[in-house]
Amino acid sequence: MGRKKKPVFRLTLFFVSVVIASGSILAYLSINNISNLKELTEKRVQEAERKLALAVSDQIEIIINDLAEKFQDYPGGKNPAAITWIKNMDPNDLAEQQFVVDTEGGFLWPWFVEGLENRPEKAPSKKFQNQFEQAERAEFIEQNNSKAVHYYHASLRESSNNTDSVQALNALARLSVKSEEWTKAFSYYSSIISAYGTLLNSYGFPYVYYAIPQLIRMSNSSNRDQIMQEIEYCLTGMASGKIPLNQSSADILNLVSNWIESEPATNERNAFIRETIQTIEKLLSFVHRNRVVIGNYLHKENRDDFSPVREGFHALNGSSQNGGELILIKLHGEYASGFSVDFEVMWHHIMEQALTEGTEFDLELEIVMLGNGINGSELPLTTMREISPYFESYNLLVKLENASLIDKLVRRRSWIYGIALALLLGGMILGILLIHRDISREEHLAQLRAEFISNVTHELKTPLTSIQLFT
């Protein structure tokens, strides 16, 4: 019986050895896979971050080129051509501020003057000059206001162009204020505002700017609404380009702001004035920030140093403190036109496009100012790169929304592999037990069969032996 059990025992031992070896190999591979899973996942995350950063940079390039292609060229001409052009411009929320300048850097839009800009239509007549000089002598030397009024009226009748007329009207308004003849003064200043708002004196100062402080000075409860209406008209003209801006515009705006704070008026009216003031301040801020940058571009002979954009535009970095303003300018003939792009506005537009959706991992985009001390290489699982050559002050930081995502993923995979391996090994052990049970059963049946045959043979031999003895 022992010799019959040996082949079965050897086969069982061989099968158990194969199962143990296979399980060990699978266990080793599972452990090795788990240990490498974190490194492989980190590489996948960094690749996804790199692709997303490139997609953002490409999107900025597409937006800027698209704005340049859709921008309407300036047809040329002084004011009011610039005002007409800006009215016909297709609105675009990403084009922050349109502008037109001449080759000397003078702003036609926003209309900003720094000196002599308009000249008389023709030289004043000798009669006008004589009458006006006598009026000034009477006002400032003789201090005879009534005589001065007489000669100013005479010079007004002799005026041959708008420049002479507004000069005489401004003098009459000034004398009316000195004499506290408020009704006459209001009438004169109202005429200056409505008919001569675009004209400047010999020092490049708009006559309207003389009117606004005096109107505020003479305001009272009886004429408040009328003065408010005149000031609204002035501010609207300054915001729309009909009345030029200059270095004194900010002082005028501060004066009006303080006045409306102290003067009772409807909330709607005050809100409109404040909104108009903010519009004008925005125009002034743009001119003050970028006139030097634009002037340097216009006066430079070789403009190849500036980054080219489609449709003949060049990209200039604005003078904003955070470096978030891009100036796109195109020179054509005697004029140059263009627009500015604010980085924050464009960034919000990009974020609305949901570039992070559809990525393999949940990624987060963050803007980092250059020179803030953040080193992307020292941060785990982050990608930091220049967001665009147009905005050199900004870097793009791409990172996981959940920094512990990889650890959780590895832990989950470890549990999956561990449970699967345990089930596999358990199944193998169960298989061994079942096989061993079947083998034991077969051995037992074989033993019973052998005993049965032996007993039957023995029983059959006994009668035959007895018969042979008796015979």
Tell me what pLDDT residue 375 has: 64
437 vs 98: CA distance, rounded Å? 90
Helix runs in 71-159, H state only = 81-87, 126-136, 145-158
What angle separates helix 405-470 from helix 2-70, to the nearest 10 degrees?
160
Tell me what pLDDT residue 43 has: 86
Tell me what pLDDT residue 413 has: 75
Q: Would the pLDDT of 1 be above 50?
A: no
DSSP-assigned letters across all residues of 394-454: EEEEEEESSTTHHHHHHHHHHHHHHHHHHHHHHHHHHHHHHHHHHHHHHHHHHHHHHHHHH
Is the distance from CB of 188 to CB of 173 less than 8 angstroms? yes
Indicate left, alpha or beta for 90 from its phi (over 0: left) and psi (-120 to 50: alpha): beta
The torsion angle over the Cα atoms of residues 424, 426, 430 and 432, rounded to 10 degrees, is 70
8-42 pLDDT, tens digit each: 566 667 766 776 777 677 777 767 776 677 778 88
383 vs 395: CA distance, rounded Å? 10
91 vs 87: CA distance, rounded Å? 9
80-126 pLDDT, tens digit each: 777 788 877 777 778 889 999 999 899 999 999 986 655 545 677 88
Residue, of 416 and 321, whose pLDDT is higher: 416
Q: Which long-range contacts (CB under 8 A, 24 or more apart) does 426-430 make?
A: 428/19, 428/22, 428/23, 429/19
Radius of gyration in angstroms for the set of CA atoms belonging to the chain, rounded to a whole number = 47
Tell me what pLDDT residue 311 has: 87
171's CB contacts (< 8 A; 6+ apart) are: 132, 135, 136, 139, 148, 152
CB atoms within 10 A of CB 42: 13
Domain boundaries in the chain?
Answer: 2-67+405-470
Is the distance from CB of 23 to CB of 432 less than 8 angstroms? no
Angle at 469 between CA 463 and CA 470, to 5 degrees: 95
Q: How far is CA 313 from CA 68, 198, 316, in A?
A: 7, 31, 10
Q: Would the pLDDT of 2 be above 50?
A: no
Tokens encoding 248: 């004194």
Per-residue pLDDT band for 175 (boundaries 50, 70, 90) equals: very high
Tokens 């003389």 locate to: 210
Look over the chain and give the mean of its residue pLDDT values, rounded to a whole number: 84
Residue, of 11 and 145, whose pLDDT is higher: 145
Tokens encoding 165: 């007329």
DSSP-assigned letters across all residues of 155-210: HHHH--SHHHHHHHHHHHHHHHHHTT-HHHHHHHHHHHHHH-TT-B-TTS-BTHHH
Q: Would the pLDDT of 3 be above 50?
A: no
Q: How far is CA 380 from CA 49, 370, 383, 398, 406, in A?
A: 12, 19, 9, 11, 11
380's CB contacts (< 8 A; 6+ apart) are: 403
Per-residue pLDDT band for 332 (boundaries 50, 70, 90) equals: confident
